[in-house]
């Protein structure tokens, strides 16, 4: 087997298996995780600094802040907590190109880690720090859960980005 193939597994779930040299080397339990970032790149790359930094009210988040938060969250949870790597430096919230490029860089690192994750590696527990608001994971924080949490978190904030686009008189993201 060479390249990526899609197989129908138990309970009719689709999983992408990546095979190299005839051996399955990784299992991707998140085969569609790329779609949201691809849409963000296509739809937000043209936004001006004014649109990126616009806030509906004082103390509310801007699109630029949300993008920086989403990429920072992925970097923190996947790379620092799950794998012990240092996180990237902050990116200016008024530069769509820089934000999306850094988000893509972080995602490519995530994809590299996900591509080689195995059953045992995915079930390894991750030490989660105490958060100031008292939040704790709703289940044991395994590496698998960290990936799920990051991709779910991204979708949550994409809804907020769509709302902010509408509030500025722009079309929402096409989901």
- In tens, the pLDDT along 113-165 reads 998 888 889 999 999 999 999 999 999 999 999 999 999 999 999 999 999 99
What is the torsional sign of CA 35, 77, 124, 83?
positive
- pLDDT tens, position by position, 120-134: 899 999 999 999 999
Taking domain 32-167, whether its CATH number is 1.20.120.450 is answered by yes
3-class DSSP state for residue 32? coil
Q: What is the pTM of this model?
A: 0.83
Given a cut of 50, is residue 90 above it in pLDDT?
yes
* Whole-number Å distance between alpha carbons of 110 and 107: 5
Q: Across the strands, what pairs with 8?
A: 14
Task: Report yes or no: 173 and 165 within 8 Å, Cβ to Cβ.
Answer: yes
Task: Report yes or no: 116 and 26 within 8 Å, Cβ to Cβ.
Answer: yes
At residue 21 the predicted structure's pLDDT band, cuts being 50, 70 and 90, is very low
Rounded average pLDDT over 41-64 = 96
Given a cut of 80, is residue 57 above it in pLDDT?
yes
Which residue ranges make up each domain of the chain? 1-29, 32-167
Q: Which residues contact 10 (CB under 8 A, 6 or more apart)?
A: none
């Amino acid at each position: 087997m060479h390249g990526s193939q899609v197989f129908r597994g138990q309970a009719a779930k689709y999983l992408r298996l990546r095979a190299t040299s005839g051996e399955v080397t990784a299992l991707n339990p998140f085969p569609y995780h790329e779609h949201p970032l691809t849409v963000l790149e296509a739809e937000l790359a043209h936004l001006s600094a004014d649109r990126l930094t616009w806030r509906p009210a004082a103390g509310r988040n801007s699109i630029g802040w949300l993008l920086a938060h989403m990429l920072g969250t992925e970097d923190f949870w996947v790379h620092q907590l799950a794998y012990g790597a240092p996180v990237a430096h902050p990116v200016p919230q008024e530069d769509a190109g820089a934000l999306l490029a850094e988000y893509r860089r972080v995602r490519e690192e995530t994809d590299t880690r996900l591509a080689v994750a195995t059953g045992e590696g995915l079930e390894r527990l991750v030490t989660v720090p105490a958060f100031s608001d008292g939040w704790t994971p709703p289940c044991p924080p395994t590496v698998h859960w960290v990936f799920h949490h990051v991709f779910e978190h991204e979708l949550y904030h994409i809804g907020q980005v769509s709302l902010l686009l509408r509030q500025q008189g722009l079309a929402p993201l096409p989901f």
